[in-house]
């Protein structure tokens, strides 16, 4: 609502409160409800998204009408216009009302006797029983590595992928081409052709409110997520040589001895992205299909690489000669560490220098290349194939 509109509304309310003698105003004044008729009615609930907002006067003319949709982060004006005869206001275009929202209507009108009336009404739209919600990564305000892929996991299957994809945009400053890719009906990822440039600022706009994702399923989110790309760090694990080389841009920081997956449980090949950082975590073989082969309650300096359970972590239980000499794990990559996680160990050194979004690439392992949807493995997919996964192409 503009300042001018507020001023007019305030003045009109003051006039209505003070009133005028009938002799001056020419008859008994109408109530605001009679003078300005608003649809949906004041206090209406569960208004359908197919209903339309209308403001009318029986005579005289409308002077001002301001309609707003109230959201968590403020209000959004609803565009519309007063008809040339001044008797009605209707919204512009054919946009539907948003679900699970509150609307306000403020109107000022002058009747045929020169009396000014102001009216304020509110109504709420229905809350759909099947709402679409997207859970996103990375977090708002995060600083992440150059390999970060923006990912949305939806709580319900999306039938109209094109409609949902149109409602999500990922932009960067400085500008770079970003493309979307669907992994099934519940996951939508975005990435550039190559890794982000350090210092890039990325925004994701979710405009899912009112989007029909499937029959009976409506979006309710309206959010903007911003994050920043930090320094460029990549690491290359050579499973055959039992080493990991860490790079900052083109400068090699270190080559560290590691132990990777054994012959029977090799580590995935390919590029993986650090998903989570845990100073300490529990690793239980039951949760990843290894039965009771291990259950370690205090694994230090743990960096998750895949959703299936691949970590790069500290290892205090293997003999020192294992690192750089043998592959003995169940698929993870181990760095020498102490129980409790010493800061001066290889694992502690690497953990302190790592960000969510950093790329770790594994080569010369006996396993297959990690699947593009296992964690943020989309860097293993050629750009042309990635772009082909958009619903808008």
Q: For strand 130-132 and strand 217-219, is the pairing parallel, antiparallel, or unpaired?
A: parallel
Please give the Cα distance from 233 to 246 (Å, whole number).
7
Please give the Cα distance from 243 to 234 (Å, whole number).
14
Please give the Cα distance from 129 to 351 (Å, whole number).
44
Please give the Cα distance from 158 to 208 (Å, whole number).
12
User: Is 217 buried (19+), middle (13-18) or exposed (0-12) by CB count in 10 A?
Assistant: buried
Closest CA to 277 of 143, 379, 133: 143
Which contacts (CB < 8 Å, 24+ apart) does range 191-196 have?
191/149, 191/150, 191/378, 191/379, 191/386, 193/383, 195/146, 195/147, 195/232, 195/359, 195/379, 196/146, 196/147, 196/148, 196/172, 196/229
Residue whose structure tokens are 């694992």: 347
Verify whether residue 113 is a known catalytic residue: no
Supply the DSSP string of 4-60, one letter for each residue: HHHHHHHHHHHHHHH---HHHHTSPPPPHHHHSEEESPTTEEEE-TT---EEE-SSS
348's tokens:
């502690």
Closest CA to 98 of 60, 136, 137, 132: 132
Please give the Cα distance from 32 to 52 (Å, whole number).
21
Element of type H or E holding 296:
strand 295-304
Verify whether residue 313 is a known catalytic residue: yes
Please give the Cα distance from 198 to 201 (Å, whole number).
9
Query: Which of 181, 242, 301, 313 is labelled catalytic?
Result: 313
HSE-CB for 322 with a 13 A CA cutoff: 19
Please give the Cα distance from 174 to 147 (Å, whole number).
16
Catalytic residues, by residue number, are 313, 332
């Amino acid at each position: 609502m503009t300042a001018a509109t507020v001023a007019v509304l305030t003045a009109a309310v003051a006039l209505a409160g003070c009133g005028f003698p009938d002799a001056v105003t020419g008859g008994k004044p109408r109530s605001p409800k009679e003078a300005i008729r608003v649809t949906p009615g004041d206090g209406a609930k569960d208004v359908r998204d197919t209903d339309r907002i209308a403001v009318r006067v029986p005579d005289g003319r409308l002077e001002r009408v301001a309609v707003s949709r109230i959201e968590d982060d403020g209000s959004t004006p609803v565009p519309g216009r007063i008809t040339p005869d001044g008797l009605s206001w209707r919204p512009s275009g054919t946009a539907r009302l948003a679900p699970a929202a509150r609307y306000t209507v403020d109107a000022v009108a002058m009747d045929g006797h020169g009396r000014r009336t102001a009216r304020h009404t509110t109504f709420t739209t229905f809350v759909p029983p099947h709402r679409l919600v997207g859970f996103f990564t990375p977090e708002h305000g995060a600083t992440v590595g150059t390999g970060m892929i923006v990912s949305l996991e939806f709580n319900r299957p999306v039938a109209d992928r094109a409609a949902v994809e149109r409602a999500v945009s990922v932009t960067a400053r400085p500008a770079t081409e970003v493309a979307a890719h669907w992994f099934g009906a519940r996951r939508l990822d975005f990435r550039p052709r190559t890794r982000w440039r350090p210092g890039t600022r990325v925004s994701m706009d979710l405009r899912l409110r009112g989007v029909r994702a499937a029959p009976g399923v409506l979006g309710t989110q309206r959010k903007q997520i911003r994050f920043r790309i930090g320094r460029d760090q990549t690491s290359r694990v050579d499973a055959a040589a039992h080493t990991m080389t860490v790079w900052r841009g083109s400068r090699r920081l270190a080559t560290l001895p590691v132990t990777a997956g054994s012959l029977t449980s090799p580590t995935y090949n390919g590029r993986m992205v650090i998903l989570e950082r845990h100073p300490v975590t529990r690793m239980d073989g039951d949760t990843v299909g290894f039965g009771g082969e291990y259950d370690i309650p205090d694994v230090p300096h743990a960096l998750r690489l895949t959703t299936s359970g691949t970590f790069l972590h500290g290892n205090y239980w293997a003999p020192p000669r294992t690192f750089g000499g043998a592959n003995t794990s169940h698929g993870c990559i181990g760095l020498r560490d102490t129980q409790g996680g010493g800061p001066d160990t290889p694992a502690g050194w690497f953990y302190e220098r790592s960000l969510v979004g950093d790329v770790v690439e594994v080569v010369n392992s006996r396993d297959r290349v990690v699947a593009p949807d296992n964690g943020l493995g989309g860097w293993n997919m050629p750009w042309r194939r990635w772009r082909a996964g958009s619903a808008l192409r």
